[in-house]
Amino acid sequence: MYKTVFMIIYGSWLRILEATNIRIEDIDSKNIRLFVRNGKGERQRYTVFPKASLEIQTQIMRQKDIGI
């Protein structure tokens, strides 16, 4: 789990505060991007979402749906 978080922070060029505000609905897997709320200067923006992180996140969500 921690590996995925660090992959997202590093791959998406997020600041720690930005990373703490990420919600599941902020991940746009179709366009492989991430919506960042309350970034530097209280701005909102889109940034890239690392493809490797997307694959891991998808696996985690599938496990949660199955109940593993």
Beta bridge partners of 33: 28, 48
Distance CA 48, CA 38 (A): 16
22 φψ region: left (φ > 0), alpha (ψ -120 to 50), beta (else): beta
pLDDT of 67 above 70: no
Distance CA 67, CA 49 (A): 26
User: Using one digit for the tens of pLDDT, what is the confidence trace for 55-66?
Assistant: 887 887 788 775
All structural domains of the chain with their residue ranges: 2-66
Amino acid 6: pLDDT = 86
Report the pLDDT averaged over residues 3-12.
85
Token output for 43 = 């701005």
Amino acid 68: pLDDT = 45
Average pLDDT value over all residues in the chain: 85
Distance CA 23, CA 39 (A): 14
pLDDT of 33 above 70: yes
